[in-house]
Amino acid sequence: MLERNSGIPLDLGWVNRSCVNDQAVKGRIQDLLTSRSIHADHQVEWLARSIQCIDLTTLAGDDCPSNVARLCSKAAYPLSDSIASALHIGNGLLTTGAVCVYPARVADACLGLERLGANIPVASVATGFPTGQTSLKIRLAEIEFAVQSGAKEIDIVINRELALAQNWKELYNELVQMRKACGESHMKSILAVGELCNLTNIYRASLVAMMAGSDFIKTSTGKETVNATLPIGLVMCRAIRAYNRKTGFKVGFKPAGGIRTSKDVLQWMTLMKEELGNDYLTPELFRIGASALLNDIERNLTNHFTGGYFLAEEMPMA
């Protein structure tokens, strides 16, 4: 079992002296994209592997028990029987990493997965997602409600005002209280990177979130104008690596927002392997927040085995 990150006292010296070289980040990403790629002969296996890292998500205003139940079914059986058979994957052996919903839909998701006999965790966004513009008391109460409803993972949003003001102590204190409210449920801290202005702020916010006990750090809500990009991912991975070297704790990483194609996910998996190693190709340490990605993966797997693509209307709901 992976040891949970218990957090450490806030180290403001470490946070404030951390700076990011933007040009070096761009150079490293360019090197990855031009000199590191997954051979075509192995892409099918990598795509199949990526499915277990997807947090299959619905965060819509019209979410209801029926479409949450369909989402759970897709999470439990992400590939058609013919494709699973071609991959030599037994029935029920491949699932997504989690199902992610709003707090009000957690009970529906738990019931849907229970009926399927699927051992898949339910993740819930919380703390005034996506903006976080509610009082701390209400944000903590929302976490507690989601946990009591059955959520095993809580995707919280940080207070961007505090990060932009460099008020790291207050941000740390808020996150510590959120971690306490999560209890045994894992906490994924969403940095909303598109609203943090620069890469140095993103690196510093990553450190503070990990020091406060986050089990994962996550790029975005998916609602910002800038979401998961490879340069941002690299900066957050370097923060994870630095934190691991200093504390011994391995903190997970979750990019979210804008990851829609098989090409996208292969690039992200390459980044994980190159920067953090093979452990970060597993759902214990790597998740992808996505809703449409699974459809594209299944279409590409179908093309590999049959030579043709499903039409949009032939695809199951994802």
Scan for tokens 């989402």, then name that residue: 71
CA distance 259 to 246: 31
- Lookup: tokens for 164: 């932009």
Which residue type occupies 88?
Answer: H
CA distance 89 to 207: 39
3-state secondary structure of 73: helix
List, by residue number, the catalytic residues.
218, 254
- Lookup: tokens for 222: 């998916």
Write the CA distances from 46 to 49, 92, 255, 262, 279, integer angstroms.
Answer: 5, 19, 17, 10, 14
- Lookup: tokens for 226: 């800038």
Write down the H helix ranges in the chain: 12-17, 22-35, 43-51, 65-76, 81-86, 106-116, 136-149, 160-164, 168-182, 199-211, 230-247, 262-276, 293-306
User: At 250, phi and psi to the nearest 5?
Assistant: -100, 115
